[in-house]
Amino acid sequence: MKKLNKLLIITLIFLLMLFPIISLAVTENEKNGIMLIDDSEEMPLEDEETLDDDENSEEVDETDEDINLDARDVIGMALDDAAEKSGDLYLIDNDVTINDVIDGNAYIIANSVTINSQIMGNAFIMAKTINISEDAYIYNSLYALSNNLNIEGTVYDVYSCSDNFKISNGFIHRDLHVAASSVEILGNVQGSAYLSCNKLNLGNDEDNEGIIEGNLEYFSSQQFSIPENAVSGQVTFTLAPTKADNSISIGSYILSLINFLCFVILIWLVCLWLAPKFIQNVPELLKSKKGNIALYGILGLLVLPIISVILLFTTVTSSVALLILAIYILLLCLAKSIFAISINSLICEKYKINKTLTRFGILLVTCAVIWLICLIPYVGSLLSILMSIIGLGILFTYVIPERKKVTE
């Protein structure tokens, strides 16, 4: 189970890394072109021999010689323009076929991806179908999100979330981390395999059998028959919970309530310590500045992520975009607590409750009621959005200074 959590964390990192790549790919393609060579542009040698002009023939020979360099012959060379621009490949397309060496990492988003050559770094690929051919060699890790992934070549480490995962006479130098509906290993895994799957096939005969040199740990709803010589290390099976086991226990609900109460209480204590006037002024804000709170809340909920995405389109401001995104997530976490504290302050003011201990008790009751409402289907989702809007609106309304009208 720990290995599965590790795989999911790595998948999230992969998605985050792909997010700014879309803009980088556009910029890279417009300025520098893609580091791929189209075989259709190669000039046949037979056409060169038929040229009458000696000077033109020499020029064509030089051009054709450069184009027809084998991919493996350029490893360790300067790679001319490609080396000057960048060793990494950023590519977004419908169908992608890589026939030349990538002297760096490869970031690819496509419908179909086929790798026929060497990638000297890591490969980050998101596609419907991914095929690592027998001539492919990925010197570091392959991070893949796909419906179908087939490996016939060589990869050092594999981290994959796929519907159907298959190794067809391929070779994995180190470990295999896969979450898939169906896993078929008919190749060699030199390290260990950590799998989460519904179906597992390691082959049934000597000519078509998978080999795992290390350990096999798999998480599934059923236990599979593992061939006797398929795994050199230990085989560990973890039973996935059934639907009946997935029901949330009362203890989980109680723990969730305690977490919510603790976080709100922490924010409430911080406000009492650092900003006591905020708690005192919240009821007046809710009464007199409802329009500002609604406006700032909606703008804060929608505009900040949009600004972050726009800034991510340029490499210069990408760090600023990540900072804004981090602040946005922090504000969302605070918004629900601010909403609960504001409702509590409004109730205490209406009933003229001034004692801190009594206010604290009412805050606990207010939080419990809000938490229970959030459990109601549909209503809870709408309340969560409303809490975020009002909480953000209160924060921005309190922080943004009000313009004073100048009278002549």
The predicted model gives 325-348 an average pLDDT of 91
Which pLDDT score is estimated for 312? Answer: 74
pLDDT above 70 covers a percentage of the chain that reads 74
> What are the tokens at 168?
């067809």
Give me the count of residues in the chain.
Answer: 408
**Residue that is written with structure tokens 């006797």 in the block:** 228
Q: Note whether 76 and 125 are same-domain residues.
A: yes
Determine the Cα–Cα distance for residues 120 and 13; give it in Å rounded to an integer.
21
**Would 405 be classed as within a structural domain?**
no
**Nearest to 339, CA basis, from 292, 262, 277, 391:** 391
Q: Note whether 150 and 283 are same-domain residues.
A: no
Q: Note whether 261 and 321 are same-domain residues.
A: yes
Cβ proximity of 262 and 241 under 8 Å:
no
Which pLDDT score is estimated for 405? Answer: 54
Number of domains in the chain: 2
Q: Please, what is the average pLDDT of the chain?
A: 78
The predicted model gives 60-85 an average pLDDT of 39
Q: Note whether 338 and 288 are same-domain residues.
A: yes
Q: C-alpha dihedral over 380, 381, 383, 387, to 10 degrees?
A: 130
Q: Note whether 287 and 225 are same-domain residues.
A: no
Last residue of a domain, one of 239, 266, 299: 239
**Would 244 be classed as within a structural domain?**
no
Last residue of a domain, one of 239, 272, 298: 239
Which pLDDT score is estimated for 214? Answer: 92
Is the model's pTM score more than 0.85?
Answer: no
Cβ proximity of 257 and 371 under 8 Å:
yes
Cβ proximity of 111 and 128 under 8 Å:
yes
Higher pLDDT, 198 or 77: 198
pLDDT at 116 exceeding the cut of 90: yes
**Host domain of residue 269:** 250-399
Which pLDDT score is estimated for 342? Answer: 93
Q: Note whether 142 and 63 are same-domain residues.
A: yes
Find the range with the poorest average confidence among 118-122, 266-270, 397-401: 397-401
Which pLDDT score is estimated for 5? Answer: 46
Report for 89-98, 110-119, 244-253: range of highest mean pLDDT? 110-119
pLDDT band at 3 (very low <50, low <70, confident <90, very high): very low
* Helix ranges restricted to H, 91-240: none
Last residue of a domain, one of 205, 239, 273: 239
Q: Note whether 128 and 234 are same-domain residues.
A: yes
pLDDT band at 207 (very low <50, low <70, confident <90, very high): low
